[in-house]
Amino acid sequence: MTNIVEFHNVRKSYGALEVLKGVSLSVPKGSVVALIGRSGSGKSTALRCVNGLESIQGGELNVCGRKLHEAGVKLRELRKDVGIVFQSYNLFPHKTVEENITLSPRLTRGLSKAQAREVAQRVLAQVGLSEKAASYPEQLSGGQQQRVAIARSLAMEPELMLFDEVTSALDPELTGEVLKTIEALAKGGMTMILVTHEMAFAKRVANQIVFMHQGVVWETGDGRMLDAPQTPELRNFIGNGL
């Protein structure tokens, strides 16, 4: 199976603070990888390195056939292949749902207005919001806005989707609807890396769970690893209910 992402001893610092201390992991095409760990463990930084929002200072990072550790990487091209959805929805409040979704395909993929509208209709159906195309963000719940943000990324037809704690600002009911959307993408074969605190979801959906601790990959495995942690650090993390 081809790896769509490969970290080899990746290091990242902010000044004197080393956040990633030699991270190595791979993400096979079509798989779902969940990054878990305490705040400050490096999981969100690792995710942001994958689409070039953060540069690395050591090691090698290959993403969608591009060597992000080498100079001259065209980030604009990379981000056509790598979609990212954040905790904050970042929708344009003065544009409709459809306009929010069609903007990037028209600007970066050169689609006509009609083509972009077709794409918007398709991705809104994927996230269960076909009837909201003409709505404005303020007319939507937080969960619906997050699903629009997912649809906006899907409209770019990425090879890889990144999710950075996308449910942490939502209440349990809205969290559930967003997680169902992500689970449907997983069943459809989308390659995904998730930073999440939703342990039950990670256990159910992820092919690989990566527990990060103090800037390194501390323990990794499938969902069974959460039932039988091999290290006291993971045991404490799960036992504390995060």
Helices 142-154 + 172-187 axis angle, to 10: 20
pTM over 0.85: yes
Beta strands in the chain (DSSP E): 3-14, 17-28, 32-36, 58-63, 66-67, 82-85, 160-164, 191-195, 208-213, 216-221
User: 241 pLDDT exceeds 80?
Assistant: no
Q: Delineate the domains of the chain, giving CATH numbers in brackets.
A: 3-90+158-239 (3.40.50.300)
Q: What is the dihedral of CA 16, 78, 182, 163, to 10 degrees?
A: 10
Tens of pLDDT along 188-208? 999 999 999 999 999 999 999
Tens of pLDDT along 66-89? 999 998 889 888 998 999 999 888
Residue 155 in tokens: 């409209």
Tens of pLDDT along 130-176? 999 999 999 999 999 999 999 999 999 999 999 999 988 888 888 99
